[in-house]
A and B are shown apart, each in its own frame.
Chain A
Amino acid sequence: MAMTSAREASVDLAPAEEMISRYLEEREAIIGLLQDIQEHYGYLPRPVLDRISERLGLPRTQLYGLATFYRAFTLKPQGKHKICVCTGTACHVRGAVPVLDRIQSDLKLAPGETTEDGQFSLQTVNCVGACALGPVVIVDGQYEGHMNTAKIRRVLRRYGLKKEDDGDAADSK
């Protein structure tokens, strides 16, 4: 695992301690605990994983194995706006790839990454089951349906993408 970053060093462990206690009490599945942690912190912070390892007596390698095997988990902090592009089959045949490419080129971001300014995180998901709206992009839980390369840019601008960022400064409107 990477070195603990400054941001991670300041992680508030109290909620995690509570979740771990509840887990020990109810003998819940470890994956459920990690999901609760991920939901609360937005990712799996290293100091929290260390605490889980200590209190549960599990090797950290095992936690790392789970965290990297399952798509639900990420070890990196997430951006302010979470963009999730559905790449399910229905969205794919309706043109999800050009939409994803446009997001990547406008934000200079690959799936799984966060912009340097911490504004946007980009993810893909295998299917959200809103196929009637495909291609679908979900931004901060809001479904944006029937996307194409032009519409997605308007959506991104709503969330703070500046015009000069998308190489479209010539647009006078």
Chain B
Amino acid sequence: MLRTRSDLEALQAECRKAHDPGLVTVTLCAGTGCRACGSLAVGEKLAGAIASNGFQGKVRLKRTGCHGFCERGPLVVLQPSGVFYQRVQPKHVDDILRKTIGEGALIDELLYVDPSSGSTIVKESEIPFYKKQKRVIFGMNGFIDPEEIRDYLRLGGYSGFARALSEMDGEAIIGEILRSGLRGRGGAGFPTGRKWDVCRKARGDIKYVVCNADEGDPGAFMDRSLLEGNPHRVIEGMLIGALAVGAQRGYIYVRHEYPLAVKHVAGAIAQARELGLLGENILGTGFSFDVKINRGGGAFVCGEESALILSIQGETGLPYQRPPYPAEAGLWGKPTLINNVETWAAASIIVTEGADWFNRIGTETSKGTKVFSLVGKINNTGLIEVPMGITIREVLFDIGGGIPEGHRFKAVQTGGPSGGTILVDEKGAPIRADMPAGGAAEHAVLPESLLDLPIDYESLTGAGSMMGSGGMIVMDETSCMVDVARYFLTFLTEESCGKCLPCREGIRQMLAILDRITSGRGQEGDIELLEELGGTVAETSLCALGGTAPNPLLSTIRYFRHEYVAHIRDKRCPAGVCRALLTFSIDPRACTGCGVCARECPSGAIRTRAPAPGESAPKLREGRLLHRVDPTACTKCGACFEACKFQAVSKE
């Protein structure tokens, strides 16, 4: 039990001392992404091999949170050398221990090869995916075991809170946050210090702080990875916030779909309590604060703060009219400070490192770093942290490694289903940033395209998008923009709570029109009707869910009107996605007659035929027949298209 600040400092020193620098550390990423690729089996094998093969006392295994490079999981990084192994399987474990650690030899097949240069890269820090990143919020992730508070303490954890507790009052803490320029990372970008100040000044015998970890945006997993990988960072932020506003209780509202995050946060709370960093009379100062976990029920609208409040209170999460804002009257009518996971983590770093350190990163109006989950049609799927002001081009091509399979970049979506919109290089862009403009013949590259837009709050908003919480979904020319708009509206129809009419009925009507368009029954005037409906829903909905719901729709119309027109007028889906508008056929010049398509077809729509007299069938194998699709039996499921290894099946 820590009773004073010097107790804490002594324990931090003890943890540093206990961490023998002579040992080789094998860090294994055990975040959800790597676990899905089998990292737990690698961990078991590693633990067993270290114990039984004479590596005890020489090698230590650390199962850490997410390293970010999900595309290449399971990841293993050796410290202190920094050797980076990717796609590690249990069969590689013996070689890693014996060859690399024992003899200092590298294992070629596990090293990362940069696809653009073809060169083999040994160290994590030299991989292009990491080079342009600035990992502040996620800085410790690769070095600590999230289930072990001593790892966090070893790296100076809870120093910021201890400093605030003994040297600063509420006003000074908030002054520091204001000076840092930190803005809310949940999406809207409201200055964090101002929100804290309102809550501090609000009158109430009881106050609460809440960590909003109801990360409902599909394709976003920043908050999850942080809670999984470094839960103490977030708890420390909440302690600092509670101290600043005078709160006694905290809640972490986390999605139930994140069982590992719940487990790690619960463990962290228990460990912090045991050391007296949570509970009564913390570090002998008379300050008391404790945190509870609330598992969300899987309703997207509960990420909206008024709905979240009701959900914590055990009610259905129907948003209500604000003001009063939660900072003045929130949980059970008491002042409640609600921040997003990343905001809490940033606050703890700011108080630890100082506002001046933090606000040197980023742009004039957007300070610090931002975490994004970079997903979709991108080579390097993963979790990235970049300084504010970096361009979209750098993110997609330098960090993300460009678009897979030689496809062409089309659009990037930020801000999730209600928050954001689609950003696009209207004239098309080269597949790789370093490809000369001529490489994409019919699509000249604009020097001042939206790809060079810097990522900061103002620039994104100015371009008709927004920062959002950090989901960044990349799309290529095989993604249909009408289908994407329909996808988000389908999502929102299900997630609209139904309380206010514009959102409940408006979204449903917009979806009905999109259904019509994508099934080939679009009419002249549909686009205009969608625009009118979208405007009305945005203006008149009660909460942000409805208020921003039309964004994906309106922005795709803005940038891709021609795709809507193609669906409505020509009954054609240029991207080949909307199935009702597709026709599948087999090219006799490419068909080998192998029959895979017929085997995969669930509806028996593949027929055979002999080549017509004079018909060219150069690939057809001896004794085989050409295949064709019977349009009357075809259900357009696309199984043949996916199954054919010779690209003989086409859809248009």
Residues in chain A within 8 A of chain B (CB atoms) = 29-32, 34-35, 65-66, 69-73, 87-90, 92-94, 98, 101-102, 105-106, 125-134, 136, 143, 145, 148-150, 166-168, 170-171
Most chain B C-beta atoms within 10 Å of own C-beta, residue among A93, A102, A129, A148: A129
Least CB distance, B197 to chain A, in whole angstroms: 29
- In the complex, how many angstroms separate the beta carbon of A54 from the nearest chain B beta carbon? 17
Question: Taking beta carbons and an 8 Å cutoff, which residues of B are in contact with A?
Answer: 32-33, 35-37, 70-71, 73, 216-221, 224-225, 256-258, 294-300, 311-317, 373, 375-377, 381-382, 413, 416-417, 471, 473, 475, 479, 484, 487-488, 491, 497, 598-600, 602-604, 637-639, 642-643
Question: Could you say which residues of chain A place their CB within 8 Å of the CB of B488?
Answer: 89
Q: Are A93 and B297 in contact (CB-based, < 8 A)?
A: no
- A102: chain B residues at CB < 8 Å are 602, 637, 639
Closest Cβ neighbor of A72 among chain B residues? B298
* Chain A residues closer than 8 Å to B471, beta-carbon distance: 89
B316 partner residues in chain A, CB cutoff 8 A: 65-66, 69-70
A166 to B373, CA, bound (A): 36
- Report whether B377 and A129 are in contact in the complex, using a CB–CB cutoff of 8 Å: no
Which residues does chain A contribute within 8 Å of B257, judged by CB atoms? 125, 127-128
Q: A89-B413, A148-B642, A150-B639 are in contact. Are A132 and B73 (CB under 8 A)?
A: yes
Residue of A nearest to B300 (CB): A126
Indicate which residue in B35, B376, B639 contacts A89 across the interface (CB closer than 8 Å).
B376
- Which partner residue on chain A sits nearest B261 by CB separation? A129
Known A66-B316, A71-B298; judge A89-B473 contact (CB<8 A). yes
22 contacts between A and B (CB under 8 A): A31-B294, A31-B314, A35-B295, A66-B315, A72-B296, A87-B218, A89-B471, A89-B488, A93-B473, A105-B602, A126-B491, A127-B218, A127-B219, A127-B221, A129-B32, A129-B33, A131-B219, A149-B637, A166-B602, A167-B602, A167-B603, A168-B602
Inter-subunit contact B297/A71 (CB<8 Å): yes
Partner of A150, one of B36, B71, B642: B642
Are B602 and A106 closer than 8 Å at their CB atoms? Answer: yes
How many CB-defined contacts (below 8 Å) exist between A and B?
A: 156
> Are B218 and A30 touching (Cβ within 8 A)?
no
Tell me which residues across on chain A come within 8 A of B639, comparing CB atoms.
98, 102, 149-150
Q: Are A29 and B218 in contact (CB under 8 A)?
A: no
Question: CA separation between A106 and B471, bound complex, in Å?
Answer: 33
- Per the bound structure, the CA–CA distance linking A130 and B600 in Å amounts to 27
> What residues of chain A lie closer than 8 Å to B315, measured between beta carbons?
66
Cross-chain contact A90 with B375 (CB below 8 angstroms): yes
**Whole-angstrom CA separation of A31 from B497 in the bound complex:** 17
B297:A98 contact, CB within 8 angstroms? no
Inter-chain contact A131/B599, CB cutoff 8 Å? no
Q: Check B603–A98 contact: CB distance below 8 A.
A: no
Q: Is the CB of A98 within 8 A of B300?
A: no
Instruction: Report the Cα distance A31→B312, complex, angstroms.
Output: 8
* B295 contact from A31, A106, A131, Cβ within 8 A: A31
Partner of A30, one of B73, B314, B637: B314
Give the distance in Å from the alpha carbon of A92 to the alpha carbon of B218 in the complex.
10
B637 partner, pick from A88, A98, A143, A171, beta carbons under 8 A: A98
